[in-house]
Chains A and B, each alone.
Chain A
Amino acid sequence: MKITRKDVENVALLSRLELPEEEMEMYSGQLNAILEYADVLTKLDTDNIQPTAHVLPLKNVLRADEVKESLPRDLALSNAPEEEDGYFKVPKVVEG
């Protein structure tokens, strides 16, 4: 599978990233290298092997439905670039 420039544009758009021209080229190359490497796996015969859902041999790790203390709000907001009135403040989400 070859990553085209169009794929990179699409992934950048979906990820809300604005990529300058030179980075567009750079990421195309890097992503292709990664995929080529992973491509090795497609050479294996996996016909009779179930897909792996998880790498650890664990199942059913559950917790009781008991309320635990939440974060104090000022601490919760302390990493936010902007806040207002106890809310996280972000750029508008819909084009007017």
Chain B
Amino acid sequence: MDYEVVIGLEVHSELKTNTKIFCGCSTKFGADQNTHVCPVCLGLPGVLPVINEKVLEYAIRAGVALNCEILQFSKFDRKNYYYPDLPKNFQTSQYDLPIAVNGHLDIEVNGETKRIGITRIHMEEDAGKLVHAGTIVNSDYTLVDYNRTGVPLIEIVSEPDLRSAEEARIYMEKLKAILEYIDVSNCKMEEGNLRCDANISLRPRGTEKLGTKAEMKNLNSFRALEGSLAYETAREEEILSEGGRVIQETRSWDDAKGITASLRNKEQAEDYRYLPEPDLVPIVVDSARIEEIRKSLPELPDARRQRLMNDYGLSEYDVTIIIATKAMADYFDEVVSHKVDAKAAANWLMGDVAKHLNNEGLGIEASPVSADKLAGMLILIDKGTISGKMAKTVFEEMWTSGKDAETIVKEKGMVQISDEGAIIAIVDGVLAANPQSVADFKAGKEKAIGFLVGQTMKQTKGRANPEMVNKLLRERISQ
């Protein structure tokens, strides 16, 4: 039988505030264990939480950017569960009146636009970190670091509109890009800023009723997301096609083995017994405030894609890579603001720049060659001062020394020779020294010219204008 995959994602994104959601403890990553804690985030008796105004603002920003309706009356609730990563024995979250509902996000799948529904966005606090000697299963006890407890999160819940592991990855990438563009999260998956729970079920194609789902928790890379969902798709398909039943359970992804496995937990049934948070008063947001936030949003990825394609005639492929992160798109915009050829800028960005960044594991914001410097080099190519080939050398030098292109060209005497008289003198010497190649060319061997160009370039240490050399060689031979 042919099965259809149904996937919904719950994405948790840490907000980039200075302080936690309900107390003034720092959210800075990487501090010594239990040094960013206070009576509020430790859940000591008698304390009162107070909402961080930035958390509310960022949650509304995300809601507006994801085309949601912002609820004008919203409140917090207690989600009760007992696990040592939660010192209060409940997580302060939002239940029936979340800050944002009914949004959507458009993704590009195989050249077509597909709309994925966003059910809701709610604000909540992150939990602490459990540390184990050995693995979670074989260690005798658990150590807890509460620094992360109370770090603000938004949870973005999608409709079950995703139909493959690939679509899920594309959705997650797009969501990450939007959260970066609107500057509410650092989105560093390796630091756990952005992580995802996935629900997946299969049903016979053409039927409506949802199948039994499996849930994967804490997928913290695109690889884990796509890999675990692809594995689950195959696993559930095999069970169903053999007439078996999928069990509703939580499964964990083993990144090293590339498999999912059933996660047996002490918690038997999920029953969070939500109740309204008596320590926090409701949040009321008026439409003027929502409009103000809407107006403050920067250009979002879809609009940017359209602009780059329209204004610069870049291909869909090029644009997709450039807009994938805001930093990359900003870099590109800065380069082309110097009135250089946009296509050339895109090629350098996706070629030499991307290659060097990858090699050194750097993000574009840490590139030793700034946008201004790359533009400076492109201007020299444009003016004919250096050839595209020389530019490769200049780029390497810019990368390692941090100098600008003009300085490098001056220091190394790399100025391209475009003076016809000077080139003719060299060309004539090359022709005189290689009579056989001249004879070959005259006999119709087009390849021979390549050798002669090469010899001329060698004599000028690569500085001659290659097009001019080619033209002059042909002229001098036929004279």
Flag whether A76 is at the interface (Cβ < 8 A). Answer: yes
Given A70-B36, A86-B34, A89-B142, are A65 and B281 neighbors across the interface (CB < 8 Å)? no
Flag whether A43 is at the interface (Cβ < 8 A). Answer: no
| Choice from A61, A86, A91 contacting B33 with Cβ under 8 Å | A86
CB distance from A54 to the nearest CB of B (A): 5
Contact yes or no, B50 A92, CB < 8 A: no
Determine the distance from Cα of A69 to Cα of B35 in the docked complex, in whole angstroms.
10
| Choice from B138, B143, B265 contacting A84 with Cβ under 8 Å | B143
Complex contacts, A70 vs chain B, CB 8 Å: 25-26, 35-38
Flag whether B472 is at the interface (Cβ < 8 A). Answer: no
Complex contacts, B146 vs chain A, CB 8 Å: 76, 88
Contact yes or no, B52 A55, CB < 8 A: no
For window 39-96 of A, CB contacts with B under 8 Å fall at 53-56, 58-71, 73, 76-77, 79, 84-96
Determine the distance from Cα of A88 to Cα of B299 in the docked complex, in whole angstroms.
45
Given A14-B271, A15-B82, A59-B281, are A65 and B19 neighbors across the interface (CB < 8 Å)? yes
Please name the residue on chain B nearest to A56 by beta carbon: B281
Determine the distance from Cα of A86 to Cα of B145 in the docked complex, in whole angstroms.
8
For window 1-53 of B, CB contacts with A under 8 Å fall at 17-19, 23-26, 32-39, 42, 44, 50-53
Complex contacts, B75 vs chain A, CB 8 Å: 53-54
Contact yes or no, A76 B34, CB < 8 A: yes
Contact yes or no, A91 B142, CB < 8 A: yes
Contact yes or no, A71 B39, CB < 8 A: yes
Complex contacts, B276 vs chain A, CB 8 Å: 53-54
For window 57-99 of B, CB contacts with A under 8 Å fall at 73, 75, 80-84, 97
Contact yes or no, B34 A87, CB < 8 A: yes
CB distance from A9 to the nearest CB of B (A): 11
CB distance from B29 to the nearest CB of A (A): 14
| Choice from B18, B140, B265, B278 contacting A92 with Cβ under 8 Å | B140
Contact yes or no, A92 B32, CB < 8 A: no
Flag whether A32 is at the interface (Cβ < 8 A). Answer: no
Contact yes or no, A93 B51, CB < 8 A: no
> Interface code B112-153, partner A: CB below 8 Å = 1, 0 otherwise?
000000000000000000110000111111111110000000
CB distance from B218 to the nearest CB of A (A): 14
Given A73-B32, A87-B33, are A62 and B25 neighbors across the interface (CB < 8 Å)? no
Given A67-B19, A67-B26, A71-B38, are A93 and B143 neighbors across the interface (CB < 8 Å)? no
Contact yes or no, B54 A93, CB < 8 A: no
Complex contacts, A63 vs chain B, CB 8 Å: 24, 50-53
Please name the residue on chain A nearest to B264 by beta carbon: A95
Complex contacts, B18 vs chain A, CB 8 Å: 65-67
Determine the distance from Cα of A60 to Cα of B24 in the docked complex, in whole angstroms.
17
CB distance from A52 to the nearest CB of B (A): 8
Flag whether B471 is at the interface (Cβ < 8 A). Answer: no
CB distance from A68 to the nearest CB of B (A): 3
Flag whether B282 is at the interface (Cβ < 8 A). Answer: yes
| Choice from B23, B53, B131, B271 contacting A68 with Cβ under 8 Å | B23
Complex contacts, B139 vs chain A, CB 8 Å: 92
Determine the distance from Cα of A80 to Cα of B193 in the docked complex, in whole angstroms.
28
Contact yes or no, A94 B84, CB < 8 A: no
Given A60-B284, A67-B19, A70-B26, are A92 and B34 neighbors across the interface (CB < 8 Å)? no
Contact yes or no, A87 B281, CB < 8 A: no
Flag whether B266 is at the interface (Cβ < 8 A). Answer: yes
Determine the distance from Cα of A61 to Cα of B19 in the docked complex, in whole angstroms.
16
Complex contacts, A94 vs chain B, CB 8 Å: 136-137, 264-266
Flag whether A35 is at the interface (Cβ < 8 A). Answer: no
Contact yes or no, A62 B50, CB < 8 A: yes
Contact yes or no, A54 B278, CB < 8 A: yes
Determine the distance from Cα of A67 to Cα of B23 in the docked complex, in whole angstroms.
9
Complex contacts, B282 vs chain A, CB 8 Å: 53-54, 59-60
Flag whether A13 is at the interface (Cβ < 8 A). Answer: yes
Contact yes or no, A66 B19, CB < 8 A: yes
Please name the residue on chain B nearest to A63 by beta carbon: B50
Determine the distance from Cα of A95 to Cα of B268 in the docked complex, in whole angstroms.
12
Please name the residue on chain B nearest to A72 by beta carbon: B35
Contact yes or no, A66 B24, CB < 8 A: yes
| Choice from A67, A71, A90 contacting B37 with Cβ under 8 Å | A71
Complex contacts, B50 vs chain A, CB 8 Å: 61-63
CB distance from A19 to the nearest CB of B (A): 15
A selection of 28 A-B contacts at a CB cut-off of 8 Å is A13-B268, A15-B82, A59-B282, A59-B283, A59-B284, A60-B282, A60-B283, A61-B280, A63-B24, A63-B50, A63-B53, A65-B17, A65-B19, A65-B52, A67-B18, A68-B19, A68-B38, A70-B25, A76-B42, A76-B146, A79-B44, A87-B33, A88-B144, A89-B143, A89-B144, A90-B144, A94-B137, A94-B266
- What 7 additional pairs, Cβ within 8 angstroms, besides A73-B35, A96-B138? A53-B97, A61-B281, A62-B52, A70-B25, A76-B37, A90-B144, A93-B266
